[in-house]
Amino acid sequence: MQTVRKNVAACGLEKRAEIYCNDAERALKAAAKRGLRFAVIFLDPPYKEKQWPTLLSSIAERQLLEPHGVVVAEHSAEAELPEEVGGLTRWKRETYGITGVTIYRWEGDGSDGEHCGLPREL
């Protein structure tokens, strides 16, 4: 977590970032309770967990993404994440050795993903 905090500070985003070091579902619940909405949500639960559909649905149901928001999910390379869940559509998927990264974009607002602020290439 120290590396994450240093990276956030290096980008000057301390006042705009929320870092949760606990169970993903618990963190999503806490963010929703506070009425927070995010442009980008990074999910990195333990690879052995098979909770992706539940976590992605929770993000959509709790309306945690801003318009044009994205979810960046890190997972094992062999994990099969859903194409679509709760208004989130898989936009990109890349594999780096044993690690997979999947980006979902929020379709609940009619976003085309072109203005999400992320480059097309990973």
Do 18 and 38 contact (CB within 8 A), yes or no? yes
Greater confidence (47 vs 16) lies with 16
Band of pLDDT at residue 119, cut at 50, 70 and 90: very low
CA atoms of 81 and 102, how far apart (whole Å): 8
Greater confidence (88 vs 107) lies with 88
Please check the confidence at residue 56 and state whether its pLDDT lies above 70.
Answer: yes
Domains of the chain plus CATH, in order, are: 2-106 (3.40.50.150)
CA atoms of 97 and 115, how far apart (whole Å): 29
Average pLDDT along the chain = 84
CA atoms of 98 and 12, how far apart (whole Å): 31
Q: What does the pLDDT look like over 41-55, one tens digit per residue? A: 998 867 666 788 889
